Amino acid sequence: MSFDYRDGALYAEQCSLSELASQYGTPLYVYSHQRILENWRQFAAHWPAPHKLCYAVKANSNLAVLNVLAQLGAGFDIVSGGELARVLAAGGKAQDVVFSGVAKSRAEMAYALEQGIYCFNVESAAELERLNEVAKAHGAAAPVSLRVNPDVDAQTHPYISTGLKSNKFGIAMAQAREVALRAQSLSHIKMQGLDCHIGSQILSPAPFLDAADLMLQLIEQLRGDGVAISHLDMGGGMGIPYQHESELDVSAYLLELQKRAARVGNLTLMLEPGRAIVGNAGVLLTRVEYHKPGVDKDFLLVDAGMNDLMRPALYQAYHDIIPVQQCEAGTSIVDVVGPVCETGDFLGHARHITANEGDLLAVMNAGAYGFTMSSNYNTRPRAAEVMVAGASAQVVRQRETLSELWKGEQIMEMPE
């Protein structure tokens, strides 16, 4: 295990989390190098060439995380020009990058073309026309995969459901053939694939396979229309157990997907795992500031807040919260809440935890959509990030200082 107790103390690999908190302060994100490797390999073991794995950068974009994956031969799924720059800075290759996102700017398109990315996942007819114009201006042919919305219900939180016709993402299935034929006719578009992404935190293969069947049918139709489709990107969305749910059987899903694609033939498959690679590879350490008994409930007031970990407030997401030092005393029921001046600032409701001022808690499964969604709300510096590998630990992002928070700001000089 990457995070487990030894003589009552919680460790990350061979590093004491208590010692890391003492050395680097809290709130503190800690990532396990070994867990990232193991998570990646469970996909790679069942995904032979020419199929491609593209890590979803938005899940955790720390350069150290990206570098680990680049060394493993990962491709990358990006949603902004900034993420492309991060990938390149971390040692990733542009030719292994797919560019998703519903509102790509002309500048982002031009930058991605200049770098020579693998393909653009185009999400609308309007985007297709713009990309053709940008590619023409640069004397290039833009490689394109159309993101199609298959209208499959992933049975997940509405904020992370992306495959329904009511969502902003993708091209409606009913319009896909028309847009694909238009793409085929444009002078500076190289039509090469289809893409879909139905949502996140999915723990059953059934919605993925339902979407795959629809996409494979569409590929056969388009090939009949003379549109050359060489790859199918089934996106990401593979979940992790946050609250003791059954794990997604990754190998069963990947093998069945390849089996169904083989019936169509001559098709490279692509996946964009993010959370499944880094979610359980990280924890957020936080220190208790106060224990506050209340009339209706008791509170543990901690130094990490919604600006550090947005998921509970935004999605009502559950993260297990455990003491860094185990205690034999009986537990009490508390709400674990942060210092941010919002009622919605909580990390967990009604948790069975006994802790006192100065004690450390670990918020588990915080490696995905933790730091990447953090902010400086209430003028709070963002947390430091540390990666451990065996008995070694290294800061991979320094804690922000207060003065850095207003860098670039200036007081207006009023005219006399």
Query: Among the three residues 271, 293, 308, which one is the final residue of a domain in this structure?
Result: 271
Residue 75 lies in a domain: no
Query: Among the three residues 239, 271, 303, which one is the final residue of a domain in this structure?
Result: 271
What whole-number percentage of the chain has pLDDT above 70? Answer: 95
Q: Binding residue per annotation — 315?
A: yes
pLDDT number for residue 328? 75
202 and 327 both lie in a single domain: no
Across 259-274, average pLDDT? 97
Residue 311 lies in a domain: yes
pLDDT, tens digit, for every residue of 44-101? 999 999 999 999 999 999 999 999 999 999 999 999 999 999 999 999 999 999 999 9
Residue 291 lies in a domain: yes
Long-range contact pairs involving 286-289 (C-beta distance under 8 Å, separation at least 24): 286/26, 286/27, 286/338, 286/347, 286/360, 286/361, 286/363, 287/21, 287/26, 287/358, 287/359, 287/360, 287/361, 288/355, 288/356, 288/357, 288/358, 288/359, 288/360, 288/361, 289/339, 289/357
pLDDT number for residue 153? 67
pLDDT number for residue 167? 63
Residue 85 lies in a domain: no
Q: Binding residue per annotation — 86?
A: no
Model confidence at 326, pLDDT cuts 50, 70, 90, reads very high
Residue 326 lies in a domain: yes
pLDDT, tens digit, for every residue of 217-234? 999 999 999 999 999 999
pLDDT, tens digit, for every residue of 370-394? 999 999 999 999 999 999 999 999 9
The range of the structural domain enclosing residue 143 comes to: 101-271
Q: Binding residue per annotation — 311?
A: yes
Number of domains in the chain: 2
Residue 331 lies in a domain: yes
Instruction: Let me know: does 49 contact 96? Beta carbons within 8 Å.
Output: no
Q: Binding residue per annotation — 237?
A: yes
Q: Binding residue per annotation — 339?
A: no
Catalytically annotated residue among 119, 196, 327, 341:
341
The CATH number covering residue 226 comes to 3.20.20.10
299 and 385 both lie in a single domain: yes
Query: Among the three residues 271, 294, 320, which one is the final residue of a domain in this structure?
Result: 271
Q: Look up 341 and say whether it is catalytic.
A: yes
Distance CA 351, CA 319 (A): 10
Model confidence at 157, pLDDT cuts 50, 70, 90, reads very low
314 and 394 both lie in a single domain: yes
Q: Name which of 195-204, 254-263, 322-331 the model is least confident about.
A: 322-331
Residue 40 lies in a domain: no
pLDDT number for residue 151? 80
Q: Binding residue per annotation — 370?
A: no
Model confidence at 121, pLDDT cuts 50, 70, 90, reads very high
160 and 303 both lie in a single domain: no
| Average pLDDT value for the chain | 94
pLDDT number for residue 158? 47
241 and 283 both lie in a single domain: no
Q: Binding residue per annotation — 273?
A: yes
Residue 162 reports pLDDT greater than 60: no
Residue 13 lies in a domain: yes
259 and 153 both lie in a single domain: yes
pLDDT number for residue 412? 94
- Name the residue with tokens 């040692």: 91
The CATH number covering residue 26 comes to 2.40.37.10
